[in-house]
Every structure is written in C-alpha cells, then in structure tokens.
Structure 1
Amino acid sequence: MNSNSTSDATESHRIVERARDVIPGGAQTGLRAQAYDTGEVAFERAEGATLTTVDGDEYTDYHLGFGPIILGHAHEAVDDAARRAIDGGVLYGAGTAPLEVEVAERLVENLPSIEQVNFCNSGSEATYHAIRLARAATGNEKILKFEGCYHGWHDYVDISVYPPEDQLGEQYPESEGMLSSAVENTLVVPFNDSEAVAEVFREHGDDLAGVIFEPVPHSVGCLLPQQGFLDTVRELTAEADVPLIFDEVITGFRHSPHGAQGEFGVTPDLTCVAKALGNGYPVAAVGGREDLLSQAGGDNKSGVVISGTYSGNLPGLAAARETIDTIVEEDVQGYVTGLGDEYRDGLRDLLADHGIEGRVVGHRSIFSLQFGVSQEPENYEDILGLDEELFREFAAGMRERGHFFTPNPYKRHHLSFAHGAEHLASYLDDADDVLANL
C-alpha cells in the first residue's frame, strides 16, 4: 500500500464524516460500511485489480464489489461498449432495442435452462420476479429455501441467511419490518439435506410454489453440493410439478459461462443471474422455461407483472454483451479457476506451517479463510463456530499490507481476470507474515 497521507484527518475521514450526516451509516447499505471495518475509507478509482482511495492509498482488490468484477475494474472493451451505447441514448422505455435481443440470445445459448429472458437491474429483483412467476404458475404461495443462502433483500427470501444457533431450522427474518405472512410462507431446511427436502414435499408438496437456492452457496464462504443432492432436489420438484429456481447471481458467468447448472448437469426451471453478467454494470435477468416466462408477456392474456423503468438499460446490456463474449472467447473461467487453486493451496500450506486451526474453502475464482474450524462444511450449521475476531485481525493485517477484502468472516475473496502471479505471490508472502503474528 502506498500512502500519501500521514494525518489522522485524512480526506477519507472528512468524506465519511460528511456522509454520516446525510447517509445512514455513512455508506450505501450497512454491508458496504461493514466491508471497510473502520468505516474510514473513501475510494475514488478502480482499475484492473487495484482500488485507490481519495488519499492515494492503493489496495489489491479481492472484494470486487461483492463479486461482479470478473474481468477486472475499468475493463477497456466493456467500458467502451457501454460508452457507445450511451451515445445512442441510455433508455428508450418502449418497444424493443436490438441489444435486448442480442444479450437475451446469448443467455439462451449459454445457460441450459433458459428459453426466454426478462431483464432487470439487480439480483434481488431477479429472485423476486422468479418467485412471482412460480407462484403464478402453481397458484401456491409457500417457498422452500435453504439456511445460509442469500437471495436478496426482499421479504420473500431475506430469511435464515445467518440465523443464530438457537434459530436453526426456524424461519428467522434477517430484518425488522418484514411482512409476517411472507416469513410464514417461506420454509427453511439445511443445505445438502436431501431427506429434509423430501420431508417438506411430503408435508407441503401441494402448497409449494417453488424451491430456490444457490447451487453453490457463497453467502457463507462456500458450501459445495454433495453428490446426488442437486439431482434429488430436481427429481422431487419435477415429480411435484414445482418450479426449481437456481439463484446463479454469484455463480452465473463467474464460475462458468454455462452456470453451475452446466457445471453440475442439473437444469432448473428458472434461473437468476446478475453480478458478473455485466462486470459491475447494473444488469440482471430472470430466465427459464418459455411457459413460465410467457406469463409476463405484457398482453391481456398474461397475468404476471414484471416491470422496471430502468430494466434493459442500454449501457448495462452493452456491458453484458461484451462481458459474455470476453468470458467465452478468452476462457476467463479456466484462468481464474487455476489461479484460485493456487491461492487455496498456498493458504492451506500456510495454516499448516503456522499450526493454526482453520480451513480454506472455495470454488473456482472464490476462496475464503475460516479460523477455528477444520472440517469441510456441508451446511450452514458447519459454519457456526468460526473465530470471527481472529479473521478480523487477519483482514486488518492484510489491509495494512495493501490487500483489500471484507473483514466479515462469512464472506469471501474473489479473483478476476486482472489478477496475476504477482498478486498471488504478494498475497501469500504477506499472509505468511500476518499469520506468524496473529
């Protein structure tokens, strides 16, 4: 990290203090404030794998905006595509733009489950729309989700993402102000527990509108699906004619151009994508079977409303088109997967060298270091018991040495196409030093 500021009254401090007067917590969403730990940082530039603060401090970025940046910040081809789109007008608000068709065709081509697409602007919107489509198709209201899976901020699903131990298996609302009937209609079971899913179908199969989950839950670092689990859920939903919704907001276009569904060979009925779809631009989509999506066709015979003034905004779609093409043509996932393996292997060696109890979890371009636990996690309950304070000390030590990632021990590191061997070597060297001093 290179610092041009030695005074306690840094420009970051002054900006954050101003922000606290007019923005709750001084940052857009509490999670952004938490990502800084101290709350005393303001960024003004991002390029490649580097974040720069208003004080001139530079960090190698492993946060990557919670994961959307797959190609690297300020990717020239993506940004040029967005600029060209702006030149033609940002938003039409009526009819169809060629970009909509081009990006929709790419989603249909790459993601096995998608036959038709509706665009929106965020992952939360996409999961909201998917659940509405499922409820309309079945005439039912109950949704089944899994502990530790995050599907957005809305009342439908902001439940049992990080429940306390005494609330395991319960419907735990993550926010005050949520609609009680939404919470009551959201059933919760552990991830990787096929029998628990089967039991829900035995008890509530006639009332279920859909099943939604992250095929690889990354909201708690990383939970990998056990062999047969995804297939079992697919079989149960198909037998009951209940739509299966894959939340691929994180995994889609980060782990594979074909999503986790292509990687694991399980095809859902509806798929939600966002984040890496546009390399940081606001663009998301819900796609799936034609009969489900046609419910939102916009004519008098179609009963589902999927709307949004800024849905299908042209800069976002242009960014998505360029991002998808780059991912496919340059085998981005092959590169970041190999790099991710090197980070994970290196950190495991360091934990062993220093005799520190912990584990390194992750998949492809995502990894997470978790202290105080050692067994491979299968579900959210296995995440409980992390040494949160030790992780925050590790994050603070790495931040002092110029590596930025959220100090939240339940979150994760991300890699991009802009990270390279020099970043790997620097990270592992500094991690060795920090671990030695914990």
Structure 2
Amino acid sequence: MTDDSTSDATSRSEAVFERARAVVPGGAQTGLRAQAHDPYPAAFERASGATLTTVDGETLTDYHLAFGPIVLGHGHDEVDAAVKATIDEGVLFGAGTTELEAEVAERLANLLPSVEMVNFCNSGSEATYHAIRLARAHTGNDKILKFEGCYHGWHDYVDVSVYPPADELGARHPESEGMLPAAVENTVVVPFNDPEAFRAAMAEHGDDLAGVILEPIPHSVGCLHPTGDFLDALESETDARDVPLIFDEVITAFRHSPRGAQAGLGVTPDLTCVAKAMGNGYPVAAVGGRRDLLEQAGGNNTSGVVISGTYSGHPTGLAATRETLRLLEEEDVQAHLTRLGRAYREGLADLLEDRGIEGRVVGHRSIFSVQFGATDEPRTYADVVGIDEERFREFAVGMRERGHFFTPNPYKRHHLSLAHTDDHLREYLEDADEVLAEL
C-alpha cells in the first residue's frame, strides 16, 4: 500500500467514478462491481501477480481476484504469451472449427468425469442457460429444481432464491425486477443439504422436471459443504427419474481441482458448466456432459437445440484455457492453494477466538471468508441468513485501509492464487488482528 491514507489517495478514482456514473448505471458494469467503491472508490489501471494498482497509485493485495477466475495470478507470463501467439494467427474466424477448439474440448473431456462432449460459450451464465435448454429438450419438461443460496447466473431461468430474506425461505424469491413470471413459477426451490426435502420435491414435481441444478459446493454464500446423504439423494433420485443432474462448477472446477469438485465428491452429473478459473481471467466458458444430451445441438441434431454465440470458442479464451489447464496439472498448483487456504482459515479462526469475537471462518481449499455473528458450520442457506453484515463491511473497510482488497459483500468470499505467498499470509493476519481489535 502507498504511504498516503486511503481517503487522501482516491481523488482520481473518485473522478473516474463520477465520469462513469454519467454514462454507466451505478458507475460500473454490474452492481456487484460497484460495491468496490463502498466507501472508497476503486478505479484500477494495473494488475500483476497478487496485486492491483489503482489510478491513484494505491497498491492492494488482491483477494477478490475478479470473483475467482484468477487462479495463477494476474498477468501470468505463460498464459499471456499463449494468448499473444494465438492473436498473431487470427483473432476470430467465426465459421468452421480449429484444431485449438478440438484440443481444448478433448482436454476438458479427459479431465472432468462427467464430460463426453463440450460446447464452448463466453460466461458462466451462458453455460447454465445452455445446460437448462439441453435438459428441457431431452425431457420435454419445463420445471427446474434449484437450491437456496446457489447462484447460476443472471438469466430468468435460475436467478431465483439466491439471497432470499429470512421471511421468504422456502418460497420463490426473484432476485431481479423484470423477470418473466412464468420462468419464476417453473422454478422449484429446495434447501441445500436437506435430502428429505429434496426427495419430497422430487416426489411432487419429478414427472414435470427438466433438470436439477446446483453448485456442488455453494460458494455464492461463502461455503456450504454437501453431506453424503444429500449427495446420495441427488444421484439416486435424478437417476431413477431420468432427470438430468446439472453441476454448476463455474467456481469450483479447476480452482479446487483440475478434475472438478465432482471427482472428489464421487457424483457424476449429466451436465457440467465451467468457466472462471479455466482461463485465468480470459473470457471463456463451456457446457459439457453426456454425449446424448450434447448431440441435441450441432449440425446433425435431431431435436434442433440452438446453442449459438459469435464469440463462443474464441481463440484467445481457448489459448488461455489450454495453457492454464496445463499449468494446473503440471505445476501442482492445487497443493500450494490448499496449504495456503488452510493457513488463512486457521489463522483467522484463531484471531476470532483470541479477540472473543463471535464469528466463523468458512471455505474450501483456496476460498475462505469470515462470517460474523454465527459460530456453527453452515449447512444450508438458512444458516447464513442473519450474519452480521455491517460488521463484515467494517472489517472489509479496515483491511482495505491496510492494503488488502476484497468485496465488502458479506456473502461473498476471498480467493487465493498461485501468486499469493506466505508473506501475504503473514501481512494479512497481522492486519486482520488490528482490525478485529478495533471492531
């Protein structure tokens, strides 16, 4: 961090935000991004390794990592070199195919247990949208079953009951105005980690369901670890009714393991959505899964499922993916991330105990977050509702003032990358101790 105080060092950032607000709603491309300037504006001009630099020259250790895609560190030399070499050969062809497209699809099929075929797209939201369309075409049904606290993108199909208020638990809670009522009505909402509630919902709606979608480890609310009974119910109930099981591994795949969370959980879904860490920051995503489901799309389809996009399979994203996946496998990145993540979680938990502050540290491998006002490990979204949101925002502000950047949203999470080191860990915990003492 610079020697200047944060409040004195944001004049240019403030000017950039004021300029943006005149032409961009909220001054940033999403409401979640706009939260970065609460209370201090953050207009960035550079990123390198584990750091971000603002237009005011403020250097911050980055634990946000763009909501998780940056797994190797910002501006990774080998990934960027692969992208630059691809650009020299052509930026966009827009017809036919390329060897790179086939090669990356083969690599995904080799890594992810559930994947036999792959369709590329540009974002996690697109991937879940396409997966649901494939499931609806396969079953001929309309309804989708999802779980409270799981986020699957911005579209009407599933932007329901991600962060419902306490008085709407168990109900359909649309997360945005302007959503199609029929889409909301065709969404069945069930508590995560509740096998009895899931079986009851399958008994009631199973014949009308197109698919069941979930984050296998929900990180949109910090972290919920799935129980064995819940995973068993997922697999047995969907198999018995031939309802496609869709894993949204946009966050978990490649960040937690090159083989996805599904490999460690021992459940093979029918469709898998991936994005974020697969490209280390470049825009790329994919939906993959069973051959019969994916073959519904493409030039020789029989059902006419349309999966389209001018920039889908863009060479830059695929080149970044090929190199990122190679490094994740060959450099054993996961060992570093897992060790460091455990150290952050244990260190933070010790600080909470030492300071007598009611709270818990949640997470998995390279993801962690502190949730104030609750102590037991959360199993469902209901266990997350009621955390002390204001105290978390105060913690985020105090850490930002000391040079550590993460979103002040209390339901989100910290991420680590290969570029984070033990020195970053030491500095974070030393500063966190100061901030917690002030709280």
The TM-score range, normalised by the shorter chain, is over 0.9
1:399 aligns to what?
400
Q: Is the 8 A contact 2:295 2:301 kept in 1?
A: no
1:343-372 deviation digits (Å, cap 9, x = unpaired)? 000001000100000000000000010001
Aligned pairs, how many? 438
2:104 aligns to what?
103
1:259 is aligned to 2:260: yes
How far apart are 1:314 and its partner, in Å?
0.2
How far apart are 1:51 and its partner, in Å?
0.3
2:74 aligns to what?
73
1:18 aligns to what?
19
Q: Is the 8 A contact 2:69 2:277 kept in 1?
A: yes
Q: Is the 8 A contact 1:4 1:55 kept in 2?
A: no
2:333 aligns to what?
332
Q: Give the distance between the partners of 1:9 and 1:189, measured in 2 at CA.
A: 44
How far apart are 1:300 and its partner, in Å?
5.8
How far apart are 1:341 and its partner, in Å?
0.3
1:315-340 deviation digits (Å, cap 9, x = unpaired)? 00000000000000011111101100
| Counterpart secondary structure, 1:367 | strand
| Counterpart secondary structure, 1:369 | strand
Q: Give the distance between the partners of 2:37 and 2:26, measured in 1 at CA.
A: 12
| Counterpart secondary structure, 1:161 | coil
- Opposite residue 94 of structure 2, the aligned amino acid is G
2:311 aligns to what?
310
| Counterpart secondary structure, 2:131 | helix
Q: Is the 8 A contact 2:9 2:58 kept in 1?
A: no
CA change 1:57–1:429 in 2 (3 A) is same
- Opposite residue 152 of structure 1, the aligned amino acid is G
What are the residue-to-residue correspondences of 1:264-303 with 2, within 5 Å?
264-299=265-300, 301-303=302-304
| Counterpart secondary structure, 1:296 | coil
| Counterpart secondary structure, 2:86 | helix
Q: Is the 8 A contact 2:10 2:56 kept in 1?
A: no
| Counterpart secondary structure, 2:269 | coil
1:432 aligns to what?
433
Q: Give the distance between the partners of 1:300 and 1:409, measured in 2 at CA.
A: 45
| Counterpart secondary structure, 1:201 | helix
2:206 aligns to what?
205
- Opposite residue 2 of structure 2, the aligned amino acid is N
How far apart are 1:38 and its partner, in Å?
2.3
1:161 aligns to what?
162
What are the residue-to-residue correspondences of 1:219-234 with 2, within 5 Å?
219-234=220-235
| Counterpart secondary structure, 1:215 | coil
1:53-87 deviation digits (Å, cap 9, x = unpaired)? 01100000000000000000000000011111111
1:77-113 deviation digits (Å, cap 9, x = unpaired)? 0001111111111111111111101110110000000
Q: Is the 8 A contact 2:36 2:42 kept in 1?
A: no
In the alignment, structure 2 segments of 5+ residues that lack a partner are none
How far apart are 1:298 and its partner, in Å?
2.2
How far apart are 1:36 and its partner, in Å?
3.1
Q: Give the distance between the partners of 1:28 and 1:3, measured in 2 at CA.
A: 30
1:249 is aligned to 2:275: no
1:293-325 deviation digits (Å, cap 9, x = unpaired)? 000022363410000000000000000000000
CA change 1:183–1:39 in 2 (3 A) is farther
Q: Give the distance between the partners of 2:369 and 2:84, measured in 1 at CA.
A: 35
| Counterpart secondary structure, 1:295 | coil
Q: Give the distance between the partners of 2:352 and 2:9, measured in 1 at CA.
A: 34
- Opposite residue 249 of structure 2, the aligned amino acid is E
How far apart are 1:163 and its partner, in Å?
0.2
Deviates more, 1:72-81 or 1:223-232: 223-232
Q: Give the distance between the partners of 1:144 and 1:60, measured in 2 at CA.
A: 39
CA change 1:9–1:126 in 2 (3 A) is closer
| Counterpart secondary structure, 1:419 | coil
CA change 1:171–1:82 in 2 (3 A) is same
- Opposite residue 124 of structure 1, the aligned amino acid is S
Q: Give the distance between the partners of 2:98 and 2:10, measured in 1 at CA.
A: 49
CA change 1:95–1:375 in 2 (3 A) is same
CA change 1:75–1:7 in 2 (3 A) is same
Q: Give the distance between the partners of 2:228 and 2:262, measured in 1 at CA.
A: 14
CA change 1:121–1:9 in 2 (3 A) is closer
How far apart are 1:211 and its partner, in Å?
0.1
How far apart are 1:3 and its partner, in Å?
4.8
In the alignment, structure 1 segments of 5+ residues that lack a partner are none
| Counterpart secondary structure, 2:295 | helix
Q: Is the 8 A contact 2:10 2:41 kept in 1?
A: no
Using structure 2 for the length normalisation, give the TM-score: 0.98
1:62 is aligned to 2:90: no
Q: Is the 8 A contact 1:3 1:56 kept in 2?
A: no
Q: Give the distance between the partners of 1:408 and 1:222, measured in 2 at CA.
A: 14
- Opposite residue 381 of structure 1, the aligned amino acid is A
RMSD: 1.1
1:35 aligns to what?
36
Q: Is the 8 A contact 2:137 2:303 kept in 1?
A: no
1:190 aligns to what?
191
Report % sequence identity: 71
Q: Is the 8 A contact 1:42 1:54 kept in 2?
A: yes
Q: Is the 8 A contact 2:119 2:288 kept in 1?
A: yes
| Counterpart secondary structure, 2:378 | coil
How far apart are 1:231 and its partner, in Å?
2.0
- Opposite residue 339 of structure 2, the aligned amino acid is G
| Counterpart secondary structure, 1:433 | helix
- Opposite residue 415 of structure 2, the aligned amino acid is H
Q: Give the distance between the partners of 1:405 and 1:177, measured in 2 at CA.
A: 30
1:255-300 deviation digits (Å, cap 9, x = unpaired)? 0001010011110000000000100100000000000000002236
